[in-house]
């Protein structure tokens, strides 16, 4: 499969997806979203892909936002369709059943911040800048930012960022829970790929059910979410990986999980 705006690299079970529009600071155009959708569908169907790394080309930007030249031409009808299109792509990433690591190298603004939030975990370069500055364009986030940001950092902090449009550095982003780790710029991609490889070595079924329990239970009442947890706990208990993991623990050896 060939792409004009993405670079796709494979290293064993880890798939790296790089938005490759450095001259445009990797802005999310309609073409990028379409190609990202295809790449994610292919990753979902490939059983040998166990984890993903998502990043941007160059050292200036992860993704600096949506393509403003396209936004400027939107009508109410096309704007709604554009938002729904981006939401579908990011929901696919979030619910892929395989962990994804955002390697945030530079600007992650607007749609770029939304893309990072749709990933399972976020690693940020010390020089990264994050934010949702759509308010300064007379807009609001359309790819899930008004929903994922409060879930990650809390409603009050999310409203501060959404209403002011202010940008924050990596350290503040880590302090409020928007990113998981801050690393040196020259170590970012290697650390993201190392983390992805670590997750790829874990039991794939247990990973998938953990993600399902967390995402599926987030909007349920606690009792219903606990039932979901019990259901997937029961399902994962039927796997060979569970039997191998518990047996290896009792036998004081390293488990040999089955690659799925």
Q: Which residue do the tokens 């550095």 mark?
A: 169
Tokens of 177: 């829970």
Q: What does the CA dihedral 57, 185, 149, 157 come to, rounded to 10 degrees?
A: -140
Alpha helices in the chain (DSSP H): 30-45, 68-71, 76-94, 111-118, 145-153, 155-164, 170-176, 188-200, 204-217, 222-236, 240-250
What three-state secondary structure class fits 54? strand
- Who's near 197: CB < 8 A, 6+ residues apart? 11, 12, 13, 14, 51
- Who's near 233: CB < 8 A, 6+ residues apart? 209
Closest by CA to 13, choosing from 174, 200, 138, is 200
User: How many other β-carbons are positioned within 10 Å of the β-carbon of residue 253?
Assistant: 9
Separation of alpha carbons 143 and 119, rounded Å: 13
Q: Which residues are catalytic?
A: 114, 134
Closest by CA to 168, choosing from 203, 128, 197, 220, is 128
């Amino acid at each position: 499969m060939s792409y004009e705006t993405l670079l796709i690299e494979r290293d064993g079970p880890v798939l790296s997806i790089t938005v490759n529009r450095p001259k445009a600071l990797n802005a999310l155009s309609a073409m990028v979203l379409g190609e990202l959708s295809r790449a994610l569908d292919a990753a979902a169907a490939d059983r040998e892909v166990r984890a993903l790394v998502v990043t941007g080309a160059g050292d200036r930007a992860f993704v600096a936002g949506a393509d403003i030249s396209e936004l400027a031409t939107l009508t109410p009808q096309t704007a709604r369709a554009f938002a729904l299109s981006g939401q579908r792509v990011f929901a696919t990433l979030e619910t892929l059943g395989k962990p994804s690591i955002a390697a945030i190298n530079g600007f992650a603004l607007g749609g770029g911040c939304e893309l990072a939030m749709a990933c399972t975990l976020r690693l940020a370069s010390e020089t990264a800048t994050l934010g949702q500055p759509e308010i300064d364009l007379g807009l609001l986030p359309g790819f899930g930012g008004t929903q994922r940001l409060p879930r990650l950092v809390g409603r009050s902090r999310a409203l501060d960022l959404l209403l002011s449009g202010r940008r924050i550095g990596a350290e503040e982003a880590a302090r409020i829970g928007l990113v998981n780790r801050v690393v040196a710029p020259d170590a970012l991609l290697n650390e993201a790929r190392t983390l992805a490889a670590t997750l790829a070595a874990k039991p794939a079924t247990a990973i998938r059910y953990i993600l399902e329990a967390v995402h599926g239970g987030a909007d349920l009442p606690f009792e219903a979410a606990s039932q979901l947890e019990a259901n997937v706990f029961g399902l994962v208990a039927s796997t060979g990986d569970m039997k191998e993991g518990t047996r290896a623990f009792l036998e004081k050896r390293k488990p040999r999980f089955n690659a799925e």
